[in-house]
Structure 1
């Protein structure tokens, strides 16, 4: 019997930073944070039979992320991203292609896994290659609650595929830049709430979550709007903050929290992760509640 209540699908890779290599990939980060929050996620991806792949498996196992459904590729290398600072000091990212996670295969075990789980989390980056894209859309036919963590990374997306993904989503999570980009394809809305309503109506998406960086987050669940202004912390970096936010919000809903309380919980974890270095830092659930209890920020 499948014991995984959530499945995360997509890329896993090494971010080759000036400071050294760090394990990365949004679906992997979400799976890690779900694990930290006492959920039982499965992670579906693909790595190469190379040293980087072996090291990546070791990191995932060390962090407690389930690796049962990570496929091995005999031809393609493990994914890497070259991160280089430009003349202004801003980081520019080259997501190398093709790599192993571009070639995720579908099989009966995977189909059964998706069908038995309550939530299936996916993004746009894993659709850049036709193989992983075909596998994703095949699995979406079996999925129950479909959670689209859009995660746009230029030039690895196009409008037609993004619209196809939006058509599938029961829950959509995005940042403010992604919201503005996508809604700009259809209309010139000024307000965040107007942009969210446009996506909900056009693509029939019951729940839309938009993270606003330092300004918090807003959620529309079936027409009811919830906002949180965010928790103030000393930021180490923002890597993985949005991924942890999604994991915490889903966990809140699975634990039958009210949407407003799930948003507070998610906002607190996003801030906590931003206060620590890296996308998958160590923390405890008690740290999340300590941040909540010591803050005067309340739901609006």
Structure 2
């Protein structure tokens, strides 16, 4: 196994559902799936000094996932998930929790200096402490590091400045169709169609790749001068939790392994469709899916 890390950086939290709680957060999901392809993956965040922190560590160890999560004097993150009469969820992402206060420790810095790919989002940047840690981490990575900004807009926990800064620091942007509409309004190009918006962002921010997911309407990967499209497979959905993170983790692992973009894209679609057929964000992938 190679020493260089593939890092999921940002929020570590528990989704508190009516039927109980589940460990969540995109960084751990991403790292878990990248690790299923033999990469040296690790989740970087922060935990509190509480019982939930112990449970987080236990779950990560059961999953065989490496982690660097310093303890801080804030509660471990939770999200209250409420379902209405139709079963539609609403989320209350608790504020001023451990992952809002990720410290840039010597251990975190050492991981950054030895990273070959990192994925982060906008949610973990809602508080200045974690936002600055994320910037320091990105600035400490090697020049050839694959830097994936999986935009992941949640509630109102984002600003134009935060998105702008991360788009300047990434070389791969992952976005969904709803987020693309919001970004189009925010940055003042609402009139363009989906593809032209993507080409514009790719060029403006000098990106290596832009990945656009459109739910049941398929997904696209834009690279300078080329576009890949894959339809979304029709599957029996158990839940969609973590499907996007499994897509990103698989795509990242495939590109790092030297796969052409089209093949990496096809594999990412196949894996995320499989994850939709399973309960929870971190199912073990059968060999035929990989």
Compute the TM-score of the two structures, normalised by the length of structure 2: 0.94
Please give the secondary structure, in 2, of the residue aligned with 1:80: strand
Determine the structure 2 residue equivalent to 1:34.
34
Moved over 6 A (4+): none
Determine the structure 2 residue equivalent to 1:72.
71
**Structure 1 residue 163, shift from structure 2 partner:** 1.1
Matches within 5 A, 1:26-175: 26-67=26-67, 69-73=68-72, 75-86=73-84, 88-143=86-141, 144-175=145-176
Determine the structure 2 residue equivalent to 1:279.
281
8 Å contact 1:150–1:173 — kept in the other structure?
Answer: yes
Determine the structure 1 residue equivalent to 2:214.
212
8 Å contact 2:150–2:173 — kept in the other structure?
Answer: yes
In structure 2, what is the Cα distance between the partners aligned to 1:116 and 1:36? Answer: 20
5+ residue gaps in structure 2? none
Matches within 5 A, 1:247-258: 247-258=249-260
Please give the secondary structure, in 1, of the residue aligned with 2:249: helix
In structure 2, what is the Cα distance between the partners aligned to 1:149 and 1:170? Answer: 11
In structure 2, what is the Cα distance between the partners aligned to 1:88 and 1:193? Answer: 34
In structure 1, what is the Cα distance between the partners aligned to 2:252 and 2:128? Answer: 29
Please give the secondary structure, in 2, of the residue aligned with 1:287: coil
Cα gap change, 1:4 to 1:58, in 2 (>3 Å) = farther
**Structure 1 residue 202, shift from structure 2 partner:** 2.2
In structure 2, what is the Cα distance between the partners aligned to 1:7 and 1:255? Answer: 16
In structure 1, what is the Cα distance between the partners aligned to 2:88 and 2:239? Answer: 13
In structure 2, what is the Cα distance between the partners aligned to 1:157 and 1:256? Answer: 34
Please give the secondary structure, in 1, of the residue aligned with 2:161: helix
- Aligned with 2:231 (options 225, 229, 232): 229
In structure 2, what is the Cα distance between the partners aligned to 1:66 and 1:52? Answer: 18
**Structure 1 residue 246, shift from structure 2 partner:** 0.4
5+ residue gaps in structure 1? 290-300
Deviating more after overlay: 184-193 vs 127-136: 184-193
Compute the TM-score of the two structures, normalised by the length of structure 1: 0.91
Q: Is structure 2 residue 8 aligned with structure 1 residue 8?
A: yes
**Structure 1 residue 170, shift from structure 2 partner:** 0.2
In structure 1, what is the Cα distance between the partners aligned to 2:169 and 2:285? Answer: 33
Please give the secondary structure, in 2, of the residue aligned with 1:197: helix
Determine the structure 1 residue equivalent to 2:199.
197
8 Å contact 2:241–2:281 — kept in the other structure?
Answer: yes
In structure 2, what is the Cα distance between the partners aligned to 1:87 and 1:159? Answer: 35
| Count of residues in correspondence between the two structures | 286
Please give the secondary structure, in 2, of the residue aligned with 1:219: strand
8 Å contact 1:183–1:199 — kept in the other structure?
Answer: no
Root-mean-square deviation (CA, aligned residues, Å) is: 1.6
**Structure 1 residue 88, shift from structure 2 partner:** 4.4
8 Å contact 1:174–1:209 — kept in the other structure?
Answer: yes
**Structure 1 residue 53, shift from structure 2 partner:** 0.8
In structure 2, what is the Cα distance between the partners aligned to 1:5 and 1:50? Answer: 28
8 Å contact 2:8–2:26 — kept in the other structure?
Answer: no
Determine the structure 1 residue equivalent to 2:181.
180
